[in-house]
Amino acid sequence: PPVEELLVQPPSQRTSIIRHELRRLVAPATVINRVVYDDLPRSTALPPSQLAAMAAGQSSLPPLRFGSSFESGNLKRAIQVFDNEYDLILSNDINTSSYCQWFYFHVEGMRSDVTYKFNIINMEKPGSTFDEGQRPLLFSERRFTWSGLGWLRTGHSIAYLKNSYKRRITKRKKQSADAGTSYYTLTFSLRFPHDDDRAYIANAYPYTYSDLITHVRKKQAECREKGSGDLMVQTLCNTQSGNPMPLLTITGMTRNGSAVPADEIKKRQVVVVSARVHPGETGASYCAKGLIDYLLDNTEHAQWCRDNMVWKVIPMLNPDGVINGNHRCALSGRDLNREFLRPSPVHAPTVYYLKELIRHVKFGEGRSVMLYGDFHGHSRREDFFVYSCGAQKKLEVHGLVVERVFPRLLSELAPYFTFNGSSFKVQKSKETTGRVVFYRQLGVRMSYTLEGSMMGGHGCDFL
C-alpha cells in the first residue's frame, strides 16, 4: 500500500480553531447544546423518531446518529453544538475514572456535501501526534461495498488543545507522568464520502480480539494444509471474564521430512514476545501479527528462525480491555503493565501466567530465554524505538553491552528505527513493567519494550 502522507496545515489553522472556540464561549445562546447520543446503559442512542423531531427544531440539518455498541467501541456521549458540529465524550476505562485516549465509534445519517466538525473533549494526555500531522481513520460501509476500499486517513483542521474542563485526579493518577488538572480536546473536520452511510471513525487502525482469533485460525489452517507442525496454539489462561488468551509456540519440528529429535529442540534458546497489554495501542497487534506471519513464512530466513529458536508469542495480553474499548486497563481497572512485580492470578491472570511461563522455561526446564519483547504503540512520538534496562560496565561481553546489541542491529536493518531515540534507563514509575521485572527478577538480559508510533515515522506507514 502507498505511504500515508502527514497532514500539513498552515500556522493560521490553529488560530482559526481557537477563535471559533472563543465565539462559542462569548455567544452561548447560539449553541444548540443538545445530547443526541448517550451511552447509559452502554450503546443507547436516541430513537430516529426523536432525532427527526429535533431536526424540525433548532437545527437546519438532521442530527447525526452515533453508536459504539460493537467490539472495541467506546463513545459515551455525543452533543450537537451547531448544525454540523458535535462535542464527543469518550467512555473511561471500565472501573476507572480516566484513561481516555483511544476512540472508536460509528456515525449515520450524514450528507456528503456537508463538512462536519467533531470535538473529542475529554482526552487526557498533554500532547499528541495529531498535532504533528496524524489524521483520524474512517471506514465507510458503502465505499467498501462499492470499491473495496477500507480504512483510510481523513480529516482536516485538526488540532489538539487544552480545554477549560477540569479533571478529577485520584491518588493513583497523581503518580502518573500524564496526570494533570485539565482535559484536552482533539478537534477535526471531515466530509463523508456518501449520503446516509454508516461510517466508523477511529484513533488508529482497529484490531479486535475477534481479528486475533480469526488470524490464529487462519495460520493453523495454513500449517495443516502444508502438513507443517511448526505452529502449536494453546490457551495460556482465561481472562477475568473468561476469554481464552492464546499462546503461539513456533519452532521447526521437522528437517528433510523427518522429525527433529526432542533433545535438539530442548537445546534451542527461547524468545518470548507479547503485545497489546494496553488495549488502545492497536499498532502493537499489527506488529505481533507481522512477526507471526514472518516466522511461519516459507523463506530461508524464517526457516532459520524456526530451526534455531523456540518462539513463544502472546499476541494479546489484555483481551478483556480490547473487547470493551478500554485504552489502558483491564476490567479490574488496573494497568496490567504495572502488575508484573507481584501479579495476582485473580486480578491480573494474563500477566501472572506470562510470568510463570518465563519462570518455568528458565528454572523449570533450565532453558535460556534469549530475549523478551513487548510490543506497544506510542501516541506522542514518531518512529520506532525501544525502552531497555541499563547495564553496568562489568556486564559487558567482548566489549559490548548486551542490552544494546539488539537495538543497534535494528537501527542498521530498519530505516525507521531510531537507536538514538531509544532509552536504556529505568524510571521509578517503570520498575513494575514486564521488561524491568523480567530483567531484574528473572535475568532476561535482552528485555525490551518495543514502541511503534501511532503516527508512523519519517516516510513510513502509519500504525
User: What letter would DSSP give residue 423?
Assistant: B
Integer Cα distance of 350 and 340 in angstroms: 10
C-alpha distances out from residue 386 to 121, 351, 373, 389, 396, Å = 31, 21, 9, 10, 19
Residues contacting residue 248 through CB under 8 Å, at least 6 positions apart = 216, 219, 231, 232, 233, 292, 311, 312, 313, 314, 315
Residue 371 near residue 271, CB atoms below 8 Å: yes
- Exactly one of 85, 281, 403, 451 is catalytic; name it: 451
Is the sign of the CA dihedral 197, 68, 40, 85 positive or negative?
negative
Residue 452 near residue 384, CB atoms below 8 Å: yes
Point out which residues pair with 230 in neighbouring strands: none
Integer Cα distance of 216 and 205 in angstroms: 19
Active site residue 451: yes
The SS3 assignment for 263 reads helix
Integer Cα distance of 199 and 114 in angstroms: 15
Q: Name which of 8, 163, 181 is nearest 88 in CA terms.
A: 163
The SS3 assignment for 209 reads helix
Integer Cα distance of 170 and 158 in angstroms: 30
Q: In what order do the strands lie in the sheet with 244-250?
A: 231-238, 244-250, 309-314, 269-275, 369-378, 446-453, 384-387
Catalytic residue numbers?
451
